[in-house]
């Protein structure tokens, strides 16, 4: 039962072959059994989940179901949940209990979805391994000696390990897509502004976006239908009409032009990853798609531009956590400045401190134009290069990550290597575009390989349809925990 898709569970619940409380208990039982080794959850909300399931079943019995009624989901622990701790996997927010819900939670509650708990992440969503979490250093469901990716590693591992039907993550520079790739599941980063950020604890406000992780592209569309839309609480949320994101599924790939950008397949991409993605491109070609060669010369500068802008925004967003207005307060007695220094030193981990320092440096007098100003110029250049490619094609296919999941201790002490591993994903956030990652192969040791499909702004439906078309041709191998 815990291996089924959201769509399959909806049918079972509506036919009353299983009840929402029974389904919830199945997932809670699996969490209790499996999550000791996986560590995907920071907080499990068993009592609340069972109460929500009972409420959902009443709605099902009345015949008033919504697509997510009674569906057990996991929520990344940087999304505010009223009455349930939201820690951002940081000592700084270890005891923070939000008095309100994020807008996405209000939308899920309106459909009577069931929240199983809050999943782990890299501290304040800064990282690509979920090993910077202060509370739960999540492991990969395909091999617990490896990382699940990050920062939404807990959310992806929970889906890949069959601990929930689907989950919500957040994506700042690949934080939904990269862990989805590492954990053998599907994850979509919507167009910036498609989903409200109200209640998402900010990392880099011009990049952050909430999105779903699930077992299929169609499931991602079902969840995206539920959480999208304009929000008066978020001035950056779009007023564009929300379509049915699954409306293009089944229409085929004939005549669709897909770009292959050569820089995404250059040095640094593992041969097995490159071969799997190229084989997927051949599959699309066999389905009638037209393959177009393209180039993005600015890709070599993308990592530098992304980390300068993201760190600058992070240093500003995290300045509020001083132990006085917000966050952990040190017990050290001293001056006002001593209290702030001690509180931030104790509350933040090394990676968060590193990015705050980098951001403050980039924004400081004398360096602003040389670093932040140039990075913003590159942001515009990258947007222009994407716009040019989309005059000639409909979609772009790239590897999601240059390698498969690596060992838990392999890259953790090499920040530069960790940052460089994001070059396949960050340009999508820089350009505010939508992208979906779905499994396209496995390496010689059975670890999942993901490919990303990038589309035009507001055209998530084409991404979901393209990913779904491939998924119907591809045999996904589930993790065996």
The CA distances from residue 455 to 107, 214, 256, 452, 481, in Å, are: 25, 19, 12, 10, 34
pLDDT at residue 412 tops 90: no
Let me know the angle formed at the C-alpha of 381 by 380 and 383, rounded to the nearest 5 degrees: 65
| Lowest pLDDT segment from 65-79, 400-414, 447-461 | 400-414
Q: How far apart are CA 429 and CA 412, in angstroms?
A: 23
Give the residues across from 303 on adjacent strands: none
Q: How many residues does the chain have?
A: 481
Residue among 195, 194, 176, 196 nearest 186 (CA):
176
pLDDT tens by residue, 239-258: 999 999 999 999 999 999 99
Question: What residues does 294 pair with on adjacent strands?
Answer: 261
pTM above 0.95, yes or no: yes
Q: Write out the H or E segment, with its range, that includes residue 223.
A: helix 217-227
Yes or no: say if 104 and 227 are a contact pair by the CB < 8 Å rule: yes
Tokens representing 438 are: 């779905």
Peptide bond into 151 cis (omega under 30): yes
- For residue 414, what pLDDT band results from cuts at 50, 70 and 90? confident
The 10s digit of each residue's pLDDT in 275-292 is 999 999 999 999 999 999
For residue 257, give the 3-state DSSP assignment.
strand
Domain ranges of the chain: 6-251+464-471
- Active-site amino acid positions: 76, 151, 175
Residue 221 phi, psi dihedral angles, 5° rounding? -65, -40
Return the pLDDT at 22: 98
Q: pLDDT, tens digit, for every residue of 95-137?
A: 999 999 999 999 999 999 999 999 999 999 999 999 999 999 9
User: Which fold is adopted by the domain 6-251+464-471?
Assistant: Amidase signature (AS) enzymes (3.90.1300)
**pLDDT value for 409:** 87
Give backbone dihedrals phi and psi of 454, rounded to 5 degrees, phi first.
Answer: -110, 140
């Amino acid at each position: 039962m815990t291996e089924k898709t959201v769509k399959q569970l909806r049918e079972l619940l509506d036919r009353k072959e299983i009840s929402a409380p029974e389904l919830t208990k199945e997932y809670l039982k699996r969490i209790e059994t499996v999550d000791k080794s996986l560590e995907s959850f920071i907080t499990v909300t068993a009592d609340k989940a069972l109460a929500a399931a009972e409420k959902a079943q009443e709605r099902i019995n009345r015949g008033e179901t919504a697509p997510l009624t009674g569906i057990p989901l996991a929520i990344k622990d940087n999304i505010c949940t009223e009455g349930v701790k939201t820690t951002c996997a940081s000592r700084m927010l270890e005891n923070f209990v939000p008095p309100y819900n994020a807008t996405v939670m209000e939308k899920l509650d309106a459909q009577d979805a069931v929240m199983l708990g809050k999943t782990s992440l890299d501290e304040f969503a800064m990282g690509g391994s979920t090993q910077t979490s202060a509370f739960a250093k999540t492991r990969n469901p395909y091999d617990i000696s490896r990382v699940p990716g990050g920062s939404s590693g807990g959310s992806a591992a929970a889906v890949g390990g069959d601990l929930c039907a689907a989950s919500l993550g957040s994506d700042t520079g690949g934080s939904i897509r990269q862990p989805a790739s590492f954990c053998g599941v599907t994850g979509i980063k919507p167009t910036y502004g498609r989903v409200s950020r109200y209640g998402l604890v900010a990392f880099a406000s011009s990049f952050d976006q909430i999105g779903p992780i699930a077992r299929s592209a169609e499931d991602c569309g079902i969840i995206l239908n539920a959480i999208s839309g304009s929000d008066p609480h978020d001035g950056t949320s779009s007023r564009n009409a929300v379509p049915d994101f699954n409306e293009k599924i089944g229409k085929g790939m004939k005549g669709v032009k897909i770009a292959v950008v050569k820089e995404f397949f250059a040095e640094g991409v593992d041969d097995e990853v490159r071969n799997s993605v190229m084989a997927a491109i051949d599959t699309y070609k066999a389905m009638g798609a037209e393959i177009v060669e393209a180039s993005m010369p600015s890709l070599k500068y993308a990592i530098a531009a992304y980390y300068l802008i993201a760190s600058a925004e992070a240093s500003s967003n995290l300045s509020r956590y001083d132990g006085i207005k917000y966050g952990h307060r040190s017990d050290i007695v001293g001056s006002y400045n001593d209290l702030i220094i001690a509180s931030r030193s104790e509350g933040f981990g090394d990676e968060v401190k590193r990015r705050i320092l980098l951001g403050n440096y980039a924004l400081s007098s004398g360096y602003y134009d040389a670093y932040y100003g140039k990075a913003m110029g590159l942001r515009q250049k990258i947007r222009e290069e994407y716009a040019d490619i989309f005059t000639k094609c409909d979609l772009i296919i790239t590897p999601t990550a240059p390698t498969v999941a690596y060992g838990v201790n392999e890259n953790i002490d090499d920040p530069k290597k960790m940052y460089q591993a994001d070059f396949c994903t960050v340009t999508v956030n820089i350009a505010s575009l939508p992208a979906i990652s779905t499994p396209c192969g496995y390496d010689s040791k059975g670890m999942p390989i993901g490919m990303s499909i990038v589309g035009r702004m507001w055209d998530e439906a084409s991404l979901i349809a393209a990913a779904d078309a491939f998924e119907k041709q591809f045999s996904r191998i589930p993790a065996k925990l």
